[in-house]
């Protein structure tokens, strides 16, 4: 997998605008491109987040308007709007490199809504001398609900490069928050005096900024941490909190992205709003100075996550960038590269130790035909195909029941340090005691020549108790693709559930595959059937997002099955390769419709001022 360009790392915070109702049923415009079904991507070219404003959701994102590959000097801010976080319409670029302070690119940043309701962008510009500096931009017409045009004041940069910070390691300003002293703050990644650190800047007017003496957090064990995100969470509620929330019952999460591992890490702790410092909880064994010892946002292929507060539904929502893992030649041939994960609501678990993540409920609007399976046993070596729906684009929710843990394999505690390695050694094809059991997705109909396994395996810890390993297996043994030159790893993580007490665990999967659209395709809204939160795997044409234990463990993967490219349909199976039978306590599956996501318009007719989201502007 190609190394990630450092200046590309931060998801751009988009304005979240809330309409009074969902966007109407709409039809995708004529196109001839391979597209994802419901994950956000631009109409074309390379891209690498969100905010709420005036009745609609706005997503600003790093974008190369000139090609499908990342390119210094061409980085702009793309801009799309939505009424439901599912269907998106493209607008023109919000920011382009036009001034000395961003001559070599408009890089990462965030959007903040000021108390008077005006949005303001904070972003990292790469200036004419290739230094990273911090700039601001304002909407040209704040009364425009679509915020189509932005102005960049000539007095930029508002935060020039500090003397002790390296020129190419000063970026990713967060959403600003308002302190109890009336001062604004934002955090930003930097390498200061050779130490990877997250700095804090303060301002009384959002224009003149002063650096806080102490960093928010620093790590001498990690040279650079990108994409910081500091946000509050409620200690005893799943409701989201505004970024400036303080007081009793409020905890804070600090999240960073590490370019050396291409992973996002977080910890729960205490934010001191007087000193502007963050301290991880002492009782969190994963806490410490080295960010890489913290918990992972996702145990798979996901980077540069960013959250925003959705005032419409009173929730905090996370987006993240999911890049390609095939070749640059494939990017050019497709005409686009990179997409966003499906938006996830997140909150603090009842123990107060880790985040719970769950796809936003709006995905249920795409549900169509339903299939169900109740009480079926899957014997050792068993394989059960799920029919009755089109499994190439489906939402599958399954709960597994484990009759006995007697045959669980023993595991030494030191093996808990590397779940990926444990999954590599104990893949879906390796018979175990309790597991592997789970789903085979994106499976070809030629004897499973291609398939991806998402599964669980239960181990007995030698020092007492049990642990649940969750894996997504894309390896050559479990062939997610027969295509050459595709990155096919094994992803692993542990699910913090009491399997000895509950004797059950669940998995939910959203499935879609790459499709070449060459005519007008309907994108219709579906029913709003609710489903229980358990484990969740989401697959959108070439992306698999898995959520285990009710969203306690998340895992994203990219897959490129050749049978899909050849026009063959995919199949969905429940499997068990453990020594004992497992029971499918409940399985529900829905066929999913296709959303309208920045499709290329037949003519440049723009986006109607009426808010009709069915017509999509062309780039």
Q: Is residue 32 part of a domain?
A: no
pLDDT score at 523: 29
pLDDT score at 364: 95
Average pLDDT over residues 305-325: 88
The residue from 322, 337, 359 where one domain ends is 359
What is the pLDDT confidence band of residue 63, given thresholds at 50, 70 and 90? Answer: confident
Please check whether residues 67 and 118 belong to one and the same domain.
yes
Task: Give the chain's domain count.
Answer: 2
- In this predicted structure, the answer to whether residue 314 has a pLDDT above a threshold of 90 is yes
CA distance 391 to 526: 17
Q: Is residue 559 part of a domain?
A: yes
Please check whether residues 343 and 379 belong to one and the same domain.
no
399 SS3 class:
strand
What is the pLDDT confidence band of residue 610, given thresholds at 50, 70 and 90? Answer: very low
Please check whether residues 290 and 418 belong to one and the same domain.
no
pLDDT score at 66: 54
- In this predicted structure, the answer to whether residue 72 has a pLDDT above a threshold of 60 is no
Q: pLDDT (tens digit, 9 = 90+) per residue, 228-287?
A: 999 999 998 999 999 999 999 999 999 999 988 989 999 999 999 999 999 998 765 455
Out of 27-31, 99-103, 581-585, least confident range: 27-31
Average pLDDT over residues 391-400: 86
- In this predicted structure, the answer to whether residue 27 has a pLDDT above a threshold of 90 is no
What is the pLDDT confidence band of residue 517, given thresholds at 50, 70 and 90? Answer: very low
Place of tokens 């686009």: 336
pLDDT score at 327: 44
Q: Is residue 253 part of a domain?
A: yes
What is the pLDDT confidence band of residue 326, given thresholds at 50, 70 and 90? Answer: low
- In this predicted structure, the answer to whether residue 487 has a pLDDT above a threshold of 90 is no
Please check whether residues 301 and 384 belong to one and the same domain.
no
Q: Which residue has the higher pLDDT, 47 or 41?
A: 41
- In this predicted structure, the answer to whether residue 173 has a pLDDT above a threshold of 50 is yes
Q: Is residue 3 part of a domain?
A: no
Q: Is residue 349 part of a domain?
A: yes
Out of 26-30, 182-186, 321-325, 593-597, least confident range: 26-30
Annotate 282-316 with b (16+ C-beta within 10 A) or e (fewer). eebebbeeebbbbbbbbbbbbbbbbbbbbebeebb
Q: Which residue has the higher pLDDT, 520 or 577?
A: 577
CATH code for position 64: 2.115.10.20
Please check whether residues 106 and 213 belong to one and the same domain.
yes
- In this predicted structure, the answer to whether residue 443 has a pLDDT above a threshold of 50 is yes
Please check whether residues 210 and 252 belong to one and the same domain.
yes
Q: Which residue has the higher pLDDT, 9 or 540?
A: 540
Average pLDDT over residues 429-448: 93
CA distance 238 to 532: 15
Please check whether residues 90 and 204 belong to one and the same domain.
yes
The residue from 325, 341, 359 where one domain ends is 359
| % residues pLDDT > 70 (the chain) | 79
Q: Which residue intervals of 15-78 are DSSP H helices?
A: none
Please check whether residues 290 and 413 belong to one and the same domain.
no
Q: Is residue 595 part of a domain?
A: yes
Please check whether residues 143 and 212 belong to one and the same domain.
yes
Average pLDDT over residues 408-430: 95
pLDDT score at 214: 96
Q: pLDDT (tens digit, 9 = 90+) per residue, 376-394?
A: 999 999 999 998 887 778 8
* Residue 472 Cα to chain centre, angstroms: 17
CATH code for position 472: 2.60.120.560
Please check whether residues 244 and 375 belong to one and the same domain.
no
Please check whether residues 308 and 403 belong to one and the same domain.
no
Out of 18-22, 162-166, 558-562, least confident range: 18-22
- In this predicted structure, the answer to whether residue 18 has a pLDDT above a threshold of 50 is no
Q: Is residue 549 part of a domain?
A: yes
Place of tokens 């990219």: 558
pLDDT score at 43: 57
CA distance 152 to 291: 34
Q: Are 606 and 426 within 8 A, CB to CB?
A: no
The residue from 326, 341, 359 where one domain ends is 359
Q: Is residue 312 part of a domain?
A: yes
Please check whether residues 460 and 347 belong to one and the same domain.
no
- In this predicted structure, the answer to whether residue 521 has a pLDDT above a threshold of 60 is no
For 170, the domain range is 46-359
What is the pLDDT confidence band of residue 5, given thresholds at 50, 70 and 90? Answer: very low
Q: How far apart, in Å, are the Cα atoms of 578 and each of 145, 204, 501?
A: 56, 62, 20
- In this predicted structure, the answer to whether residue 324 has a pLDDT above a threshold of 50 is yes
pLDDT score at 8: 24
- In this predicted structure, the answer to whether residue 583 has a pLDDT above a threshold of 80 is yes
Helix (H) or strand (E) holding 562: helix 562-565
């Amino acid at each position: 997998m190609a190394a990630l360009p450092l200046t590309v790392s931060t998801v751009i915070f988009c304005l979240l605008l809330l309409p009074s109702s969902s966007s109407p049923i709409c039809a995708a415009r004529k196109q001839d491109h391979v597209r994802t079904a419901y994950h956000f991507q631009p109409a074309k070219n390379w891209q690498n987040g969100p905010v709420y404003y005036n009745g609609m959701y706005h997503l600003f994102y790093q974008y190369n308007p000139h090609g499908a590959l990342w390119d210094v000097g061409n980085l702009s801010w793309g801009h799309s709007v939505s009424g439901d976080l599912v269907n998106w319409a493209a607008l023109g670029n919000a920011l382009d490199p036009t001034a000395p302070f961003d001559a070599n690119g408009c890089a990462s940043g965030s959007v903040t809504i000021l108390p008077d309701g005006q949005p303001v962008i904070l972003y990292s510009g790469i200036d004419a001398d290739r230094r990273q500096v911090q700039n601001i931009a304002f909407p040209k017409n704040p009364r425009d609900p679509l915020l189509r045009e932005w102005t960049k004041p000539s007095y930029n940069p508002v935060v020039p490069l500090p003397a002790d910070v390296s020129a190419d390691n000063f970026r990713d300003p967060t959403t600003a928050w308002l302190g109890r002293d009336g001062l604004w703050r934002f955090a930003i990644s930097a390498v200061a005096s050779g130490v990877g650190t997250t700095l804090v800047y303060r301002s009384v007017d959002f224009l003149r900024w002063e650096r806080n003496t102490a960093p928010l957090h620093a790590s001498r064990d990690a040279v650079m941490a990108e994409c910081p995100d500091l946000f509050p969470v409620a200690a005893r509620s799943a409701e989201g909190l505004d970024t400036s929330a303080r007081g009793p019952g409020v905890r804070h999460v600090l999240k960073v992205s590490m370019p050396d591992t291409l992973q996002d890490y977080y910890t729960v702790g205490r934010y001191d709003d007087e000193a502007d410092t963050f301290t991880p909880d002492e009782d969190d064994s994963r806490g410490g100075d080295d960010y890489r010892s913290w918990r992972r946002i996702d145990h798979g292929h996901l980077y540069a996550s960013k959250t925003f507060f959705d005032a419409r539904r009173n929730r905090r929502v996370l987006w993240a960038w999911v890049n390609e893992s095939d070749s640059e030649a494939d990017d050019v041939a497709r005409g686009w590269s990179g997409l966003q994960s499906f938006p996830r609501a997140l909150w603090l678990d009842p123990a107060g130790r880790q985040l719970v993540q769950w796809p936003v409920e709006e995905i249920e609007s795409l549900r169509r035909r339903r299939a169900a399976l109740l009480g079926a046993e899957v014997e050792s070596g068993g394989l059960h195909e799920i029919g009755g729906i089109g499994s190439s684009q489906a939402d599958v929710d399954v709960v597994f029941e484990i009759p006995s843990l007697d045959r669980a394999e023993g595991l030494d505690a030191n093996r808990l340090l590397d779940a990926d390695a444990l999954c590599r050694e104990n893949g879906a094809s390796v018979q175990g005691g309790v597991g592997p059991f789970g789903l085979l997705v994106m499976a070809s109909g030629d004897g499973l020549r291609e398939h991806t396994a998402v599964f669980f395996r239960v181990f007995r810890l030698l020092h007492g108790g049990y642990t649940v390993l969750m894996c997504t297996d894309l390896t050559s043994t479990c062939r997610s693709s027969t295509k050459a030159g595709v990155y096919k790893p094994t992803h692993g993580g542990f699910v913090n559930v009491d399997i000895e007490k509950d004797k059950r665990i669940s998995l939910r999967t959203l499935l879609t595959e790459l499709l070449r659209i060459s005519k007008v395709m309907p994108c219709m809204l579906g029913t709003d059937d609710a489903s229980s939160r358990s484990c969740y795997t989401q697959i959108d044409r070439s992306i698999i997002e898995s959520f285990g234990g009710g969203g306690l463990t998340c895992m994203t993967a990219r897959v490129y099955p050749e049978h899909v490219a050849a026009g063959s349909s995919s199949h969905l199976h429940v499997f068990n390769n453990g020594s004992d039978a497992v029971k499918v306590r409940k399985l529900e599956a829905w066929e999913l419709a296709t959303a309208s996501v920045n499709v290329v318009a037949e003519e440049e007719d723009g986006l109607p001022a009426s808010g009709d989201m069915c017509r999509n502007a062309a780039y």
